[in-house]
């Protein structure tokens, strides 16, 4: 079994290559779904804010992970119970919180408002449980919710009260105000006076003089805070203190200058105080006087107040409402301390206090009764009980309190009114009721006539009932009168009606799975409320999440909140994959829309140890993002590792993202093995038997191997082919923390049937103990993935440009720790304290503190200041890191991603350039809100671009346009939030597509003349051959390539010898070639022409967008004999203008980026999916069938992809799975090119029309 090692043990293992594995986890995966700080969480014994719960329990729990961006706390020993939704019984139950998370927000939150008045803010990835019209439950991401959708909300809350906790809380709150003092019983006073006065005074931390403190104590009188502190120090029960307090007075914070107010008793039963508090919340003034003329209320107040030892005075006035005077400041101060009674603007600032959320139901009931006695109304027209308030927060609190009594209610925010309606809710509310005869009578009348409210409706199509009836062969005439209205969906279907219909179905036919499923919807524990509004919120800095054992959800703001199971994942047990890969405890239908789930954003590094066959192994692991927008991170990580665990969803199968990362792995010669995750869904949701499960696995494995054969050389594809029998495939559930492989099944004697039985019998924990996920995966890693020596013997020739026969080449191939140092940088981070931190793979030699090194690409020297390895989230300093390991180095100020670091004095070639699967295709314009922040904005943009090479920053400090280009919309959102996190307030444009400029035919030559008119250069252009463009894209041909190798490759692609030898420059997917003969002085200006060519290709002539697929040919030149007259200031503008002019001369064109989109949909929605694709200028490339699914392969322009998810979902009722990856650049339709050029030029501050060739050259 795996066990974590101390740093010294890891350092020891680093030197034994046979026992080192450098691996990565690649998949498309999930990330935490979190709520805002002020979200109210419904614990079993109270309702509290997310932020408050986290901060209060953080100190009691065990901090597992703490960084600037994230804190994780294990609270599994604290027995924190929360209201949860049992996915099987569809009932509200109690779950146990095991982990708490506080994380820096990365995206604007989604603010949801429901028709019943519930409000909640969550991260965009958060999954809301929604009810479909066919009666199925599914998860829908917050950022995909639309108005009119029905989300599942709690209709009731479980409630328990710890009386001791309540009394502790009361004393704690009151003691915060030093103005309260108490008289205690003689017995209790004698008990504490067994301690001498000096110690008592010390323990009390009293603000009084010692003499005054002692005099009061002898009279059994203490400041409440003083005696509270004494009890804490002496470890005396606060419950006992509460019960021994005879009276409570308020006199202010100084003994002198303020008279004592009337004392109040603290009886064992505080119910009277709750009723008076509720009444005061509406009819009370700032001094706790109550304005009310109802004699029954007067008597009720007298009775309740007398239990507190208060005498009540009722003052009658002519032409004015009577005033009930409750007797002074003490009561007012108690209300302020315990019930958050406002000291000003009472009507707007009242709210439900924390005490109420944790009190006994009887006390809560009296508070609500008091509040509604004051201002509750029975509205016959609405058939509802209503209460109006200027404080929406008060109504929200009352709404949550009512759930403890199984009362569902609705808030009309426009009218600031809460409504209780419908038979189910009114029946439960009648148990609270009113204390006045007239209101109680009206309530009974209302209840007698009441029917169901919208909150009692089950919004499903009538066709669902019709299908069941027809399947059971029940004539409609056999159903109750009025049933036909439900089938035609003419009237709303209430829970009671649904229950009765289903009972009738069973009487006339027989129980079916569909009937049983619908029965759960008729239970009173949940309601289905419409989404009324969906907005974005950027105010919150942090978000919170809570992992709930067994149920994996909690109730917040009355809504069922699906939380992550990050800590139930492999990270929590072994560090094998990040939390983002774990917990998706989704129990939705097979065809839910999951494709765009949450994402990992940055590659995470961890070093961990694992025991395999009684030997210790060091696993250096990089956990990579899965979202297509962050594929660049995957590319960089793959350069540093030798093997990869590819994670595939058991239900989704091999998706387009899987193909992308697998292709990347093969390109980097990284050996993949397969882990099929979420097998629990095959059992719990799809109800597959052992044979069907195996068929599912065979399909996934077959497709995986087909992709290997498609992208890898034959020999490699055969050698790397995965199989269950060979042990290179594992399957399991990261959320349930178990996994199996053929080896493990044989060793532990576990069968597929055993897995299914474990789920059916609820014995998952036993399965996890027998076959833990980390053991299976890491055993597979050790057994099947190569060690550094084995890997580098094959990889070096593929990824390094140097001579394999050189001293350094041989050392790298052998992974020789004693050879010369060679390391590639795969990640750069600018740390405020440490400076530039470069992380990468050491391929040769030993990285050690103080070593002098050379940066090959930057051509600069440096000195290693610090060396580090990654232990979980932390970078830990070490003296040395040998070849074959992943390490961090500080001191490389000029290093960028892809840099090769070698030992000083070693002549070396750099590594092959990293080949990304996509180019930056989306741009946003950004500017600071305050002009003074411009320097900081520029600095931060450059920092981000350095840390993430896939972010391209274009800064024109003269025109004032600041552009950031990235791999996609989400990628740029992350960049935007990084800028905001740095303290900047910025404004951004809508996402813009990055076009490419090109040509369709041959043109030229066109002559360019230097400004001094002494030099003349002629250029022609033609489209670059498609094969050459592909070679440039794949990195087979590149700028810094050896000239002979470059020429050889071009000849292989069909070029003639002379132009292949005379390539002057490469920029992107464009080539500059010298086709002249015998031009004098030409060699001296080649560098100037190449620079001008690069500039011309970076900003094309049509609209200053990058150029793609153009071959530029120098056909002739006439140069001045004097060097001074043919310098860069003369040659470069002549070259650039001539190239642009010749491109404009014939057929310039505009290209746009396309996404490959693969959609999987039930056959009946095939037409809808193809219509969505074609409606976005997309092209359907192929359609295949797989069981009852249609798999649509298509291409869609990036410019048309924004909002695709919502369209796909609405068109298929959420039943399509889809994924995307960058595919190609293709021509913009001619009818749209003019508009695209004009809009782009105007945005960049240029004239609407491109220049004519004659405007650039003579």
DSSP class per residue in 319-367: TEEEEEE--SHHHHHHHHHHH---SSSHHHH----HHHHHS-HHHHHHH
pLDDT at 583: 36
Q: What is the CATH number of domain 997-1146?
A: 3.30.230.10
How many CB atoms lie under 10 A from the CB of residue 270?
22
Those residues whose C-beta lies under 8 Å from the C-beta of residue 371, and which sit 6 or more positions away, are: 278, 279, 281, 282, 387, 398
Q: What is the CATH number of domain 1150-1227?
A: 3.30.70.240
Range with the poorest average pLDDT among 817-826, 988-997, 1100-1109: 988-997
Tokens 């839910």 -> residue: 592
Q: Is the pLDDT confidence value at 358 over 70?
A: yes
Name the residue among 159, 93, 176 with its Cα closest to residue 363.
Answer: 159
Q: Is the pLDDT confidence value at 106 over 70?
A: no
Q: Is the pLDDT confidence value at 2 over 50?
A: no
Q: Are 422 and 455 in contact (CB under 8 A)?
A: yes
pLDDT at 245: 92
SS3 state of residue 1072: strand
- Distance of alpha carbon 23 from alpha carbon 574, whole angstroms: 14
Q: What is the CATH number of domain 459-521?
A: 1.10.260
pLDDT at 588: 21
Domain with CATH 3.30.70.870 in the chain: 922-994
Which stretches of 721-867 are DSSP H helices? Answer: 742-748, 752-760, 764-770, 773-784, 788-799, 807-813
Name the residue among 494, 423, 435, 505 with its Cα closest to residue 470.
Answer: 505
Q: Is the pTM of this model over 0.85?
A: no
> What value does the mean pLDDT take over residues 380-387?
90
- Distance of alpha carbon 827 from alpha carbon 605, whole angstroms: 11
Those residues whose C-beta lies under 8 Å from the C-beta of residue 565, and which sit 6 or more positions away, are: 547, 552, 582, 583, 584, 585, 735
Residue of higher predicted confidence among 392 and 611: 392
CA distances from 604 to 644, 665, 839 (A): 14, 17, 11
pLDDT at 1110: 95
> What value does the mean pLDDT take over residues 358-383?
91
Q: How confident is the model at residue 7 (pLDDT cuts 50, 70, 90)?
A: low
The pLDDT tens digits for 307-343 are: 888 888 888 888 888 888 886 788 889 999 999 998 8
pLDDT at 952: 73
Measured in whole angstroms, how far is the alpha carbon of residue 266 from the centre of its chain? 48
Domain with CATH 2.170.16.10 in the chain: 40-155+527-563
What topology does CATH give the domain 7-27+582-786? Rossmann fold (3.40.50)
Cis status, amide bond into 1005, omega within 30 of 0: yes
Mean pLDDT of the chain: 83
How many CB atoms lie under 10 A from the CB of residue 208?
18
Phi and psi (nearest 5°) for 289?
A: -85, 140
The terminus-to-terminus CA distance of the chain in angstroms comes to 78
Residue of higher predicted confidence among 871 and 374: 374
Q: Is the pLDDT confidence value at 543 over 80?
A: yes
Domain with CATH 1.10.260 in the chain: 459-521
Q: Is the pLDDT confidence value at 565 over 50?
A: no
CA distances from 525 to 25, 45, 1181 (A): 41, 18, 47
Name the residue among 223, 208, 209 with its Cα closest to residue 175.
Answer: 223
> What value does the mean pLDDT take over residues 626-647?
68
Domain with CATH 2.40.30.10 in the chain: 789-903
Q: How confident is the model at residue 1156 (pLDDT cuts 50, 70, 90)?
A: confident
How much of the chain exceeds pLDDT 90, in percent? 30
Residue of higher predicted confidence among 326 and 1080: 1080
pLDDT at 279: 92
Angle of helix 392-403 relative to helix 361-375, nearest 10 degrees, comes to: 140
The tokens for 969 are 């919309």
Beta bridge partners of 998: 1149
- Across 538-595, the runs of DSSP E, i.e. the strands, are 542-549, 553-556, 559-562
| Largest interatomic CA distance in the chain | 117
How many CB atoms lie under 10 A from the CB of residue 56?
12
The tokens for 470 are 């027809």
Range with the poorest average pLDDT among 709-718, 785-794, 930-939, 1076-1085: 930-939
The pLDDT tens digits for 1101-1113 are: 999 899 999 999 9
Q: Is the pLDDT confidence value at 503 over 60?
A: yes
pLDDT at 1052: 92
DSSP 108: P
- Distance of alpha carbon 593 from alpha carbon 889, whole angstroms: 43
Question: Under CATH, which architecture does the 271-454 domain have?
Answer: Roll (3.10)
- Inter-residue long-range contacts of 710-716, CB under 8 Å, 24+ positions, other chains counted: 711/662, 711/663, 711/666, 711/667, 712/666, 716/666
The tokens for 1151 are 């290209």
pLDDT at 594: 24
How much of the chain exceeds pLDDT 70, in percent? 88
- Distance of alpha carbon 1137 from alpha carbon 1120, whole angstroms: 19
The pLDDT tens digits for 1165-1221 are: 888 889 888 988 999 999 888 767 788 889 999 888 877 766 776 677 656 767 777
Those residues whose C-beta lies under 8 Å from the C-beta of residue 507, and which sit 6 or more positions away, are: none
Domain 789-903 class? mainly beta
Angle of helix 361-375 relative to helix 271-283, nearest 10 degrees, comes to: 30
Q: What is the CATH number of domain 40-155+527-563?
A: 2.170.16.10
- Distance of alpha carbon 1146 from alpha carbon 781, whole angstroms: 57
- Distance of alpha carbon 129 from alpha carbon 145, whole angstroms: 10
The tokens for 633 are 């991170």
How many CB atoms lie under 10 A from the CB of residue 1257?
17
Q: Are 684 and 759 in contact (CB under 8 A)?
A: yes
pLDDT at 914: 55
- Give buried/exposed letters for 397-408 (b at 16+ CB in 10 A, else e): bbbbbbbbbbbb
Domain with CATH 3.30.230.10 in the chain: 997-1146
Domain 922-994 class? alpha beta
Q: Residue 433, CB half-sphere, CA atoms under 13 Å: how many?
A: 16
- Distance of alpha carbon 844 from alpha carbon 887, whole angstroms: 13
| 1035 conformational bin, left if phi > 0, alpha if psi -120 to 50, beta if neither | left
Work out the burial of residue 770: count CB atoms within 10 Å of its CB; fewer than 13 is exposed, 13-18 middle, 19 or more buried.
middle
pLDDT at 937: 81
Q: How confident is the model at residue 572 (pLDDT cuts 50, 70, 90)?
A: very low
Q: How confident is the model at residue 651 (pLDDT cuts 50, 70, 90)?
A: confident
């Amino acid at each position: 079994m795996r066990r974590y090692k101390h740093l010294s043990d890891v350092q020891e293992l680093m030197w034994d290559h046979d026992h080192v594995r450098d691996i990565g986890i690649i998949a498309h995966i999930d990330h935490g779904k979190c709520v805002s700080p002020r979200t109210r969480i419904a614990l079993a014994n109270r309702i509290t804010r997310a932020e408050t719960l986290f901060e209060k329990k953080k100190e009691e729990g065990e901090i597992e992970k703490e960084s600037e961006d994230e804190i994780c706390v294990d609270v599994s020993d604290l027995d924190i119970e929360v209201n949860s939704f049992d996915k099987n019984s569809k009932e509200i139950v109690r779950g146990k919180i095991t982990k708490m998370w506080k994380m820096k927000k990365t995206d604007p939150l989604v603010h949801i408002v429901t028709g019943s008045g519930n409000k909640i803010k969550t991260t965009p990835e958060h999954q809301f449980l929604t009810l479909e019209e066919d009666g199925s439950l599914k998860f829908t991401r917050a950022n995909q919710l639309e108005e009119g959708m029905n989300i599942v909300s709690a209709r009731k809350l479980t409630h328990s009260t710890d009386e001791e906790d309540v009394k502790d809380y009361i004393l704690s709150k009151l003691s915060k105000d030093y103005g309260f003092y108490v008289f205690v019983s003689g017995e209790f006073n004698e008990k504490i006076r067994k301690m001498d006065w000096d110690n008592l005074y010390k323990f009390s931390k009293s603000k009084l003089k010692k003499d005054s403190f002692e005099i009061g104590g002898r009279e059994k009188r203490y400041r409440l805070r003083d005696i509270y502190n004494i009890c804490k120090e002496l470890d005396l029960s606060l419950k006992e203190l509460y019960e021994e307090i005879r009276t409570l007075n308020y006199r202010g914070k100084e003994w002198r200058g303020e008279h004592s107010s009337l004392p109040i008793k603290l009886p064992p039963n505080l119910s009277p105080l709750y009723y008076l508090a509720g009444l005061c919340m509406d009819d009370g003034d700032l001094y706790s006087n109550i304005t009310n003329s109802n004699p029954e209320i007067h008597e009720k107040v007298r009775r309740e107040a007398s239990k507190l030892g208060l005498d009540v005075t009722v003052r009658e006035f002519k032409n004015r409402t009577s005033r009930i005077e409750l007797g002074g400041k003490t009561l007012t101060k108690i209300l302020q301390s315990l019930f958050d009674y406002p000291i000003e603007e009472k009507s707007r600032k009242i709210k439900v206090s924390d005490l109420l959320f944790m009190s006994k139901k009887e006390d809560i009931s009296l508070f609500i009764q008091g509040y509604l006695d004051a201002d509750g109304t029975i509205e016959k027209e609405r058939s509802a009980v209503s209460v109006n308030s200027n404080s929406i927060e008060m109504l929200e609190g009352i709404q949550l309190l009512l759930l403890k009594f199984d009362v569902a209610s609705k808030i009309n925010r426009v009218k600031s009114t809460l409504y209780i309606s419908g038979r189910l809710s009114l029946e439960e509310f009648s148990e609270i009721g009113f204390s006045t005869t007239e209101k109680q009578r009206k309530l009974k009348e209302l209840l007698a006539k009441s029917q169901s409210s919208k909150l009692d409706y089950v919004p499903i199509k009538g066709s669902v009932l019709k299908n069941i009836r027809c399947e059971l062969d029940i004539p409609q005439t056999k159903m109750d009168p009025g049933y036909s209205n439900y089938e035609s969906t003419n009237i709303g279907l209430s829970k009671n009606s649904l229950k009765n219909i289903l009972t009738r179905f069973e009487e006339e036919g027989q129980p079916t799975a569909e009937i049983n499923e619908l029965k759960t919807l008729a239970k009173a524990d949940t309601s289905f409320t419409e989404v009324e509004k969906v907005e974005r919120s950027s105010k919150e800095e942090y978000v919170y999440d809570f992992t709930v054992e067994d149920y994996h959800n909690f109730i917040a703001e009355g809504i069922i909140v699906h939380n992550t199971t990050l800590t139930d994942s492999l990270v929590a047990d072994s560090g094998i994959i990040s939390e983002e890969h774990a917990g998706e405890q989704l129990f939705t239908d097979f065809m839910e829309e999951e494709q765009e789930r949450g994402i990992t954003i940055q590659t995470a590094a961890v070093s961990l140890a694992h025991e395999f066959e009684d030997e210790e192994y060091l696993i250096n692991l990089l956990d990579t993002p899965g979202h297509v927008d962050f594929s660049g991170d995957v590319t960089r990580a793959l350069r540093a590792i030798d093997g990869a665990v590819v994670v595939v969803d058991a239900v989704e199968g091999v998706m387009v993202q899987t193909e992308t990362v697998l292709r990347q792995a093969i390109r980097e010669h990284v050996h993949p093995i397969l882990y099929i995750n979420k097998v629990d869904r095959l059992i719990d949701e799809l109800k597959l038997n052992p044979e069907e499960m195996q068929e599912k696995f065979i399909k996934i494995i077959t497709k995986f191997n087909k992709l290997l054969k498609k992208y890898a050389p034959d020999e490699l594809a055969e050698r790397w082919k995965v199989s269950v029998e060979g042990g290179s495939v594992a399957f399991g559930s990261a959320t349930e923390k178990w996994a199996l492989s053929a080896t493990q099944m044989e060793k532990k004697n576990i069968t597929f049937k055993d897995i299914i039985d474990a789920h059916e019998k609820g014995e998952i924990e036993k399965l996890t103990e027998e076959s833990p996920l980390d053991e299976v995966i890491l055993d597979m890693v050790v057994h099947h993935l190569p060690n550094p020596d084995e890997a580098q013997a094959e990889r070096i020739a593929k990824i390094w440009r140097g001579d394999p026969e050189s001293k350094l080449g041989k050392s790298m191939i052998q992974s020789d720790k004693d050879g010369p140092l060679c390391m590639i940088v795969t990640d750069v981070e600018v740390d405020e304290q440490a400076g530039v931190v470069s992380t990468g793979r050491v391929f040769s030699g030993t990285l050690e503190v103080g070593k002098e090194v050379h940066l090959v690409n930057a051509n600069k020297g440096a000195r290693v200041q610090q060396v580090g390895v990654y232990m979980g989230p932390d970078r830990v300093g070490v003296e040395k890191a040998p070849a074959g390991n992943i390490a961090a180095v500080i001191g490389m100020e000029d290093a960028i991603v892809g840099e090769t670091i070698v030992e000083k004095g070693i002549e070396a070639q750099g590594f092959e350039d990293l080949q990304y699967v996509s180019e930056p295709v989306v741009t946003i314009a950004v500017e600071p809100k305050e002009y003074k922040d411009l320097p900081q904005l520029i600095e931060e943009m450059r920092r981000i671009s350095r840390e993430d090479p896939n972010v391209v920053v274009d800064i024109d400090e003269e025109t004032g346009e600041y552009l950031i280009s990235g791999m996609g919309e989400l990628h740029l959102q992350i960049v935007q939030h990084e800028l905001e996190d740095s303290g900047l307030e910025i404004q951004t444009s809508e996402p813009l597509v990055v076009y490419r400029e090109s040509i369709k035919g041959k043109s030229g030559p066109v002559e360019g003349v230097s400004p001094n008119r002494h030099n003349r250069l002629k250029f022609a252009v033609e489209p670059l051959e498609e094969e050459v463009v592909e070679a440039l894209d794949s990195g087979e041909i590149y700028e810094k390539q050896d000239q002979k190798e470059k020429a050889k490759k071009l000849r292989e692609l069909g070029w003639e010898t002379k132009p292949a030898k005379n390539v002057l420059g490469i920029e992107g997917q464009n080539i500059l070639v010298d086709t002249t003969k015998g031009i004098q002085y030409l060699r001296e200006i080649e560098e100037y022409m190449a620079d001008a060519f690069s500039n011309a290709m970076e900003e094309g002539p049509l609209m200053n967008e990058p150029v793609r697929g153009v071959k530029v040919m120098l056909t002739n030149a006439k140069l001045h004999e004097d060097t001074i007259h043919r310098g860069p200031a003369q040659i470069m503008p002549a070259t650039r203008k001539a190239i642009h002019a010749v491109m404009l001369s014939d057929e310039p064109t505009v290209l746009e980026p396309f996404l490959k989109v693969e959609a999987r949909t039930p056959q009946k929605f095939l037409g809808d999916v193809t219509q969505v694709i074609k409606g976005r200028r997309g092209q359907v490339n192929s359609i295949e069938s797989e069981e009852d699914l249609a798999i649509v392969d298509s291409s869609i322009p990036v410019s048309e992809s924004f909002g695709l998810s919502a369209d796909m979902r609405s068109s298929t009722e959420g039943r399509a799975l889809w994924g995307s990856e960058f595919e190609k650049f293709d021509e913009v339709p001619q009818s749209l090119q003019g508009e695209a050029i004009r809009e782009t030029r105007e945005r960049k501050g240029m004239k609407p029309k491109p220049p004519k060739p004659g405007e650039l050259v003579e």
